[in-house]
Structure 1
Amino acid sequence: MGKSPDDMMAAILRNLPAKTGRQVDAWVALIRAEGPAEPKACARWLKAAHGLGGATAQVLAAKALGGIHALTPAERLDKLYAGREGLRPIGDRLTELAHGLGPEVTSAVLSTMISFSAGLKFAEAKPVGKGRIDLGLALGHGPLPLTLVKTADASDRITYRIPLASVEDVTDEVTAWLARAHAHAARG
């Protein structure tokens, strides 16, 4: 299995001084003195005002202010599925399938989804209300079968989605589409 989200966050913090010329404690002090108090707004501010990348900005905002990235992976999963625990088996199955595609696959539990990457993001499992998970897939913009739903935002990597209401909906066809998205990401 690839690096865990905690490993990636630790690496971001460890490499911060070399990349930015500022120690983690100095960033935390700056954020608390000058930045917005809400983690998402703070991450946007760090990107805009200080030119940080998105992952670095999110990790620093969480370090300084708390937020989803300050939680353990288990706590992030609990928060993601709070009030919709019935969807968790679907997400767990998708995570298992994604990690089974290769040792380079990583997953990150974010505030609204689980993101799957293999160098590039190739899929996401996003709870939608209490009734389903949308499996988003990065498959490019070519015409694909009608079993996939085209996403609205053409600028996003995720171009198609498959609504899943139960573990039984995670069929061999869904598994094949997940593998195809993984292969598409591997080609770049």
Structure 2
Amino acid sequence: MIRSRYARTVAHLAIVSTLALSLGGCGTSGGLGGFSFGNSQPTPPPEPPPAPELPASIRSEELVGRWGLASYMNPNDRVRTENAARGQCKQPYIIGQGATGGVIMHLADEATPQELRLKGSPSGKNYIGPPGPAGGEKDREIVSFDGRILVTRFIDKDAAVRYGNMVYVRCAPKA
């Protein structure tokens, strides 16, 4: 039996301190008998890393140059549109070489061209767009490319409806 008031206070503080120390780990180690004093939700698993970027089967150097540009909505108009694009070589659309290996082109509804990447996909399709996964909302799919004629279509549904299939016809070299 503790007779002194001072000794009794010290003993109570020692007991409280011991309890506090023993309960301190309960929130992280499952608590007493499965009870937890912290967040009872399990922590979600970490986000998986982004899939590695697949290279496109088309190199940026193949797209750099002067192009006549036109577009069509109806696939039956493709040949007529290719001829119209050839006629645009008087005022060609220039696809430039980017500083980091991409191409300099416009995104839909953007006045300033910027460097875009050529991206491959597991399905074998090729895309042109800003950094990020292939087939992103700001990308355009390369529908066909034979070295002389490039046909693309925007992934964004609204841009695809407004712009249709973009036909780029390589212009003859300047004389």
User: TM range, normalised to the smaller chain?
Assistant: under 0.3
Choose between structure 1 and 2: higher strand proportion: 2
Choose between structure 1 and 2: higher helix proportion: 1
Give me the TM-score of the superposition, normalised by structure 1.
Answer: 0.23
